[in-house]
């Protein structure tokens, strides 16, 4: 007799957007501007692309099950030991494995509302309970509330810094205050997917990697955002050896593909690309802030590569109308932001197109509501 466990029946299947080519055909548009998934608008790291092409002739061979060269490059990049590194299919695999390792029915995980959509999914898959903490002033992570929510059954706390979808961040000082009171018998997962963008903004963000021996902390980072390799599925986790050993027990033996391993090594060395991506993001932010101010739209200052903006009309409706005009953003009603959208900072050309189409949509909606 086979059946799905009740807690897994409750999982909502993630619904990805339509492929761009299909949208183009459907809408009869020449160009789609995709600013929905916080991808790097400059494309992938060119060095990574070259390294991947070079290695394609070896695709008949299994990848190195230990991702040795990639871990060696990461170890050097981060100043940690190889034994402190887990690499996986995006940082999402690390989040999933942490949940499978340390959560189970009877235990709970603490995380904030209006944060990364993957936390509730992996907690649900593990059959654990959810303790969802409120944000402060509609947008800001309440670190103290996370501490207050911890009880005798709490195994894991998830924290994203900077946070998605708000783009807010807490400082190194705030983090250190929080960490001082963080219990020794709970695992802190610090999701730093946008770390490089916060650094590019000149923000004094904690480097989670420096704290992995102080408490039980897993820092997760990704190649999906500033490295421009979302399609490759590559991410990593940094923690003390005992935690990494647990995670390696659970992963598949060949979880990271050959292209991901060689592409990751090359991308890490492509410092120019990262620098350029940071500069383009800062310029794009500045332009979008100015335009939002002109339009009288309140926005949340961001430390990542996307902006949460209050458009003042129903999120779904603005999303749909922008889509008809070939601009894809993210509707935010699912996060309780019923009149906000989230837009990824694009190239300057994409940002200008987005603003022009947004103006058209807002004019239409204003006219209709008269
Ligand atoms: C995009 C994102 C990730 C990245 O996930 P990958 O599996 O590495 O692509 C992780 N955390 C947050 C908060 C994100 O927004």
Each residue's pLDDT tens digit, 296-337: 999 999 999 999 999 999 999 999 999 999 999 999 999 999
Check residue 184 and give its pLDDT. Answer: 97
- 118-175 pLDDT tens trace: 999 999 999 999 999 999 999 999 999 999 999 999 999 999 999 999 999 999 999 9
Q: Where are the domains of the chain?
A: 6-43+272-369, 46-271
Q: Are strands 340-344 and 330-331 parallel, antiparallel or unpaired?
A: antiparallel
For the chain, what is the mean pLDDT? 97
Q: Which CATH class is domain 6-43+272-369?
A: alpha beta
Structure tokens at 228: 């421009």
Give all strands of the β-sheet with 217-222 in edge-to-edge order: 85-88, 235-238, 217-222, 187-191, 154-160, 108-112, 129-133
164 lines ligand 1 (CB under 6 A): yes
Do 270 and 47 contact (CB within 8 A), yes or no? yes
235 lines ligand 1 (CB under 6 A): yes
Residue whose CB lies within 8 A of the most ligand 1 atoms, among 86, 98, 193, 226, for a mutation test: 193
The architecture CATH gives domain 46-271: 3-Layer(aba) Sandwich (3.40)
91 lines ligand 1 (CB under 6 A): yes
Average pLDDT of 263-273?
Answer: 98
166 lines ligand 1 (CB under 6 A): no
How far, rounded to the nearest angstrom, does the alpha carbon of residue 92 sit from its chain's CA centroid? Answer: 9
Q: Which residues contact 154 (CB under 8 A, 6 or more apart)?
A: 107, 108, 109, 110, 131, 186
Interatomic CA distance for residues 318 and 65, integer angstroms: 46
CA of 183 to the centre of ligand 1 (A): 26
CA of 194 to the centre of ligand 1 (A): 8
Question: Which atom of ligand 1 lies at the shortest distance from residue 224's CA?
Answer: 9
CA of 225 to the centre of ligand 1 (A): 8
How far apart, in Å, are the Cα atoms of 181 and each of 150, 176, 190, 215? 11, 9, 16, 10
Residue whose CB lies within 8 A of the most ligand 1 atoms, among 93, 225, 342, for a mutation test: 225
Q: Count CB-CB contacts under 10 A for residue 191.
A: 29
Question: Which atom of ligand 1 lies at the shortest distance from residue 191's CA?
Answer: 11
97 lines ligand 1 (CB under 6 A): no
Q: What is the pTM of this model?
A: 0.97
Q: Of 11-25, 185-199, 232-246, where does mean pLDDT reach its minimum?
A: 11-25
Strand partners, 48: none
CA of 357 to the centre of ligand 1 (A): 28
Average pLDDT of 241-247?
Answer: 98
Q: Give the confidence band of 14 by pLDDT, cuts at 50, 70, 90.
A: confident
224 lines ligand 1 (CB under 6 A): yes
Percentage of the chain with pLDDT > 70?
A: 100
- The helix/strand/coil state of 309 is strand
- 203-226 pLDDT tens trace: 999 999 999 999 999 999 999 999
**Same fold for the domain at 6-43+272-369 and the one at 46-271?**
no
Residue whose CB lies within 8 A of the most ligand 1 atoms, among 113, 224, 233, 236, for a mutation test: 224
| pLDDT exceeds 90 at position 370 | no
Question: Which atom of ligand 1 lies at the shortest distance from residue 91's CA?
Answer: 8
CA of 296 to the centre of ligand 1 (A): 31
Q: Which residues contact 40 (CB under 8 A, 6 or more apart)?
A: 225, 226, 227, 228, 230, 277, 305
CA of 95 to the centre of ligand 1 (A): 10
229 lines ligand 1 (CB under 6 A): no
193 lines ligand 1 (CB under 6 A): yes
| pLDDT exceeds 90 at position 199 | yes
160 lines ligand 1 (CB under 6 A): yes
Question: Which atom of ligand 1 lies at the shortest distance from residue 235's CA?
Answer: 8
CA of 165 to the centre of ligand 1 (A): 11
């Amino acid at each position: 007799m086979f059946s799905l466990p009740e807690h897994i029946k409750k999982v909502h299947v993630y619904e990805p957007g339509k492929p761009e080519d299909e949208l183009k055909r459907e809408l009869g548009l020449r160009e789609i501007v995709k600013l929905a998934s916080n991808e790097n608008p400059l494309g992938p790291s060119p060095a990574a692309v070259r390294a991947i092409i070079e290695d394609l002739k070896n695709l008949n061979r299994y990848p190195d099950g230990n991702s040795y060269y990639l871990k060696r490059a990461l170890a050097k990049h981060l100043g940690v030991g190889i034994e402190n590194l887990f690499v996986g299919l995006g940082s999402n695999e690390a989040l999933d494995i942490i949940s499978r390792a340390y959560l189970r029915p009877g235990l709970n995980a603490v995380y904030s509302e209006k944060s990364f959509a993957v936390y509730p999914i992996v907690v649900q898959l593990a059959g654990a309970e959810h303790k969802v903490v409120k944000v402060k002033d509609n947008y800001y992570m309440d670190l103290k509330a996370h501490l207050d929510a911890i009880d005798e059954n709490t195994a894991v706390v998830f924290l994203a810094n900077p946070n998605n979808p708000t783009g807010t961040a807490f400082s190194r000082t705030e983090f250190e205050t929080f960490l001082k009171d963080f219990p020794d018998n709970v695992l802190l997962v610090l999701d730093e997917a946008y770390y490089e963008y916060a650094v590019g903004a000149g923000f004094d963000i904690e480097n989670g990697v420096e704290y992995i021996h102080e408490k039980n902390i897993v820092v997760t980072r990704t190649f999906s955002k500033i490295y421009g390799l979302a399609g490759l599925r590559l991410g990593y986790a940094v923690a003390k050896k005992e935690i990494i050993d647990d995670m390696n027990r659970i992963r598949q033996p060949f979880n990271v593909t050959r292209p991901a391993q060689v592409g990751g090594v090359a991308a890490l060395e492509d410092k120019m690309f990262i620098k350029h991506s940071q500069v383009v993001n800062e310029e794009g932010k500045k332009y979008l802030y100015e335009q939002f101010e002109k339009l009288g739209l309140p926005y949340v200052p961001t430390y990542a590569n996307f902006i949460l903006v209050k458009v003042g009309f129903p999120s779904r409706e603005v999303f749909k109308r922008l889509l008809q005009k070939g601009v894809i953003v993210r509707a935010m009603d699912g996060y309780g932001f019923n009149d906000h959208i989230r837009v990824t900072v694009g190239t300057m050309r994409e940002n200008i197109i987005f603003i022009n189409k947004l103006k058209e949509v807002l004019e239409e909606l204003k006219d209709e509501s008269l």
